[in-house]
Structure 1
Amino acid sequence: MPGTAPPSHPNGAPRPHSVSRPVLAGVVTALVGFTSSFAVVLTGLSAVGATAAQAASGLLAVSLTMGLACIVLAWRYRMPITAAWSTPGAALLAATGTVDGGWPAAVGAFLVASALILLTALWPALGALIARIPPSIAQAMLAGVLLPLCLAPITGIVANPWGVVPVVVTWLIFARFAPRWAVPLAFVTAAVVVAVSLVQAGAPVDPALLLPRFELTAPTFTVGALVGLALPLFIVTMASQNVPGVAVMRSFGYEVPWRPAMLVTGLGTALGAPAGGHAINLAAISAALAAGPDADPDPQRRWIAGVSTGASYLVLGGFSAAFAALVLLAPEAVIPAVAGLALFAAFGSSVQQAIDDPGERLPAVVTFLVAASGIAVLGVSAAFWALAAGLLVRTVLHAGRR
């Protein structure tokens, strides 16, 4: 628990603190968080209509805003609070595809999602309303959204075995011996595959592709984008990132200040949206890397890891264009395979939570199937119709029951 006294030497004298330990923990947190899912972010932004330059700008925007959010929250509250981009949200973008109004409408949806996050901080009733959505249905929707992306490594082996098999084998080996590094090292293997293909093709790389820059877009607002993208983006960000993020921090003895955290991440999302950033939120899985005992034996000093995580994200943001260029130049199916591998754990967790309660299983199955179908009706994406179908089935099945 925070406030625990630091370990002492056998003679009773306090053990000297090492600043390098929490700093290193923050660097590792950022490296794992960035390299394990940046391909999902780029895939999602491209799917909703971003050009290569706009997708790179969006990656830069979320890198900088989540880095600043980490620094502000950790420094202000002396807790290892870390922020992250919404990986489930990026997967939602990839599954949604181009919305009515194209890329400007997607940017408008990002802004609306940020407004809803801010409203959650200012109006607790909205958070209570989101909490009333059964977790089984919310997780089933997320699992349906993730399914097509998780199939990419399988289809990629058939489409481009020489490029994808080394990536999958690397992931499998390290999933056994060093799970934390399985996806980052799979990405390293993918980078080697890309480099080899470029050398073989003798294709020069334009240095301009490696320079980070913002591509600002004036937002527009359409019903299809608001209902089919903004609302599901808000729901998956809250249900799959912010709420679990608070729970992870609580497991290490830290009570995250909810309202300030939502204000900071909501403002960060709003600032990043015109540059293509889709959403930032509290970190969930990666939060344990900075908040756990490995970051520092003294819980009162782990906030340094939160600041270090934020600073590392700022540095990594400077390489966002280079990462985007790597994706742009990659052979067929290689980067989608990395993105799919990065989502395996999230998919498995979502499926488990969706079907865990036998009484909620049928509505969850309907939600999952509608989300996985990828249908778009009246310009509204499958994610919204999945929620609507699941809630309708649940209402009918539970009618007349307590």
Structure 2
Amino acid sequence: MTDSPTSSSRARPITAGIVTALVGYTSSFVVVLTGLRAVGASPEQAASGLLALCLALGLGCILLAWRYRMPITAAWSTPGAALLAATGLVDGGWPAAVGAFLVVAALILLTGLWPQLGRLIARIPPSIAQAMLAGVLLPLCLAPITGIVVNPWGVVPVVLTWLVFARLAPRWAVPLAFVAAAIVVAISLMREGMPVDPTLLVPRVEFTVPTLTWGSLVGIAIPLYIVTMASQNVPGVAIMRSFGYVVPWRPAMLVTGVGTALAAPFGGHAVNLAAISAALAAAPEAEADPERRWVAATSAGGSYLLLAALSAAFAALVLLAPPAVIPAVAGLALFAAFGSAIQQAIDDPGERLPAVVTFLVAASGVALAGISAAFWALIAGLVVRFVMHVGRSSA
């Protein structure tokens, strides 16, 4: 009887790590697949990207947590995947997108080796960076609404499930909405008598020879890097600091940069520090003793490695889904990120006008000269901000 509390205490961070991985994966893998498909990946290449990201996340979590005895967790860039979904095809297609992913890896590595680059990114006003993100997310967040019109019998159960659990268990609202979507897909397949090809369930990697075009460099690589830094790495460090952990910046950037570089040729877009899900492993709920919470991060890493084996099955589920169901799940998964981005974009009245311009340009989806709206949104916002602020400091 005396051994039971001790056993429960030892299992607590392991359980927290499993929950961290499950919530992080099921809440956003649909967004990742949507983004990869939008920039030209075939279903097999998108599934390969999901597999490569899971392996990179798992190894990154284990390495950082074990080496520094901190609950440092890695994640894929969910805002970055949303950016890809909004960007769509660029000149050069999927190989050029893969080339852009490698550029992002190089920039993340350079951020770790050359602190001045990190400081340069930090000089981009947060309001403009968040407004760009909000504009990118808006079309995706509308999917649950438009989906109800397109396929009410498929989308309404998903939305209702999300709404109920957003009230009862917010952490599990999106994962359970995905479960509802999976049930909808299963019912649809049974009604149509559609057989499932067993080969779709076998995990495999698809290597892509990368190329690089001006459109992919400016339209994907630069905005993806900025979004990943501003919405994942910097907040991730701040969240860890709120729990008393000082993340080793250079090693963290080197590990995530190498992870991105290794995953990119197989379809992975970006590996970074976890932000929102970081609290699941670093908070006291994971483990009362702060010095033992690193176990939760290693458990999360191991869980991601196991989830990698299921990547093809999850990708197949998305592929077989009826119209509007999966986009609805992706939109629901991004509601919180959209709300946070909007709040930060317009929080400072003095920065509100440049932020609004940035948001509108990004949300327009208009691409000029083969370059995505996200890049032009940044430029427009910075130009408006310069015009509004020039000369004021000397007045």
Q: TM-score range by the shorter chain?
A: over 0.9
For the pair 1:387 / 2:378, whether they are aligned, the reply is: yes
- Aligned residue identity for 1:380: I
Aligned to 1:57: 48
Q: Within the alignment, does 1:71 sit opposite 2:56 as a pair?
A: no
Does 2:141 align with 1:150?
Answer: yes
1:72-221 matched pairs, under 5 angstroms: 72-221=63-212
Q: 2:293 aligns with which of 294, 302, 313?
A: 302
Deviations 1:222-253 (A, max 9, x none): 00100010000000000000000000000000
Task: Answer yes or no: is 1:362 the counterpart of 2:353.
Answer: yes
Q: How many residues align?
A: 389
Please point out which of 304, 308, 317 is paired with 1:317.
308
Please report how far the alpha carbon of residue 19 of structure 1 lies from its aligned counterpart in structure 2 after TM superposition. Answer: 1.8
Which residue is equivalent to 1:256?
Answer: 247
Q: Once the 2 structures are TM-superposed, how far is the Cα of residue 401 of structure 1 from its aligned partner?
A: 1.3
1:25 Cα deviation after fit: 0.2
Distance in 2 separating the partners of 1:344 and 1:37: 11
Alpha-carbon distance between aligned partners in 1 of 2:70 and 2:171, rounded to the nearest angstrom: 23
**1:35 matched to 2:26:** yes
1:16 CA drift (Å): 4.1
Report 1:200-279 matches (<5 A): 200-279=191-270
* Whole-angstrom distance in 1 between the partners of 2:183 and 2:135: 31
Equivalent-residue separation in structure 1 for 2:60 and 2:289 (angstroms):
23
Give the Å deviation of 1:330: 0.1
TM-score (norm 1): 0.96
Q: Where in structure 2 are there 5+ consecutive unaligned residues?
A: none
After TM superposition, what 4+ stretches of structure 1 lie above 4 angstroms from structure 2? none
**Unaligned 5+ residue runs, structure 1?**
1-8, 10-14
In the alignment, the residues of structure 2 paired with residue 98 and residue 66 of structure 1 have an alpha-carbon distance, to the nearest angstrom, of 26
Question: Which letter maps to 1:267?
Answer: V
Q: 1:172 is matched by which residue type in structure 2? A: L
- Listed one character per residue, the Cα deviations across residues 302-328 of structure 1 (whole Å, up to 9, x for unaligned) are 000000000000000110000000000
| Alpha-carbon distance in structure 1 between the residues aligned to 2:167 and 2:290 | 30
What is the DSSP-based 3-state SS (H/G/I as helix, E as strand, rest coil) of the residue aligned with 2:334? helix
Note the C-alpha offset of 1:282.
0.2
